[in-house]
Amino acid sequence: MADFNQKMADLFEKPAKRPKIIVLKNLKDYCDVLGFDYMPFLTYDAQTGGIAMPKENILFSANNSPYYPHELVHLYTADFNPHYWFDEGCATYLGGSVEYPLEYHLKKIASQMDTLDFSNLPENKKLDDDSNFKYALGGLFCKIAMDEYGGKKSLFALLNSGKTEEDFHSALSKVFGIEKENYDSFIREKLRKYKNSK
């Protein structure tokens, strides 16, 4: 976690965060600590999770380990002003989601993309309990911003997008040069390389 934390500090050009990390065994313990009797995620197959609380500089890790890269990334993205798609997307791009890397989620979406519609973003659509558009496609946007559209400058532009749906569309237009009517074809093109990869 210390090594990953330093990598994030270097990437985001910030001093390294020094959070308090509270390690819990699983999501049931997480709910108990936060005072919830029940949460819908307790019915999911995956029984790990967590939350970052940037203002308090606390990270809850409900995977029985202090290593929770996704939530640590949120401590850094909190210094920006991201739409929630780019916030969760960046955390998935850099730190994975439900203990799987971004590529795992993109392969799943790509394998079903012939039956999916990507034109209504930022619609919060789930593929299953592990993968949804917000985390996976948000991560795809962050990845291609870094790899193909200007690197850190473009990633930071997404992370400073603003919180509204209008801000989301404006950021995609500024960084990638796409408008809403092009979302579906743009995403299909970017997912194609994941469709038949092992």
pLDDT digits (tens, 9 = 90+) for 97-156: 988 999 999 999 999 999 999 999 999 899 988 899 999 999 999 999 999 999 999 999
> What pLDDT is attached to residue 42?
63
Q: How many percent of the chain have pLDDT more than 70?
A: 94
> What pLDDT is attached to residue 155?
98
> What pLDDT is attached to residue 34?
78
- 80 pLDDT higher than 90: yes
- 29 pLDDT higher than 80: yes
Average pLDDT over residues 178-191: 97
- 169 pLDDT higher than 90: yes
- How far is C-alpha 109 from the geometric centre of its chain's CA atoms? 15
Q: In which band, very low, low, confident or very high, does the pLDDT at 43 lie, cut at 50, 70 and 90?
A: low
> What pLDDT is attached to residue 4?
97
Q: What is the DSSP letter of 59?
A: E
Task: Tell how many helices (H) and how many strands (E) occur in the chain.
Answer: 9, 3
Q: What whole-number distance in Å separates Cα of residue 108 and Cα of residue 182?
A: 22
Q: Where are the domains of the chain?
A: 2-67, 84-195
Helix H or strand E encompassing 31: helix 27-34
Q: What is the pTM of this model?
A: 0.92
Pairing of strands 58-61, 50-53: antiparallel
Q: In which band, very low, low, confident or very high, does the pLDDT at 90 lie, cut at 50, 70 and 90?
A: very high
Higher pLDDT, 41 or 25: 25
> What pLDDT is attached to residue 46?
62
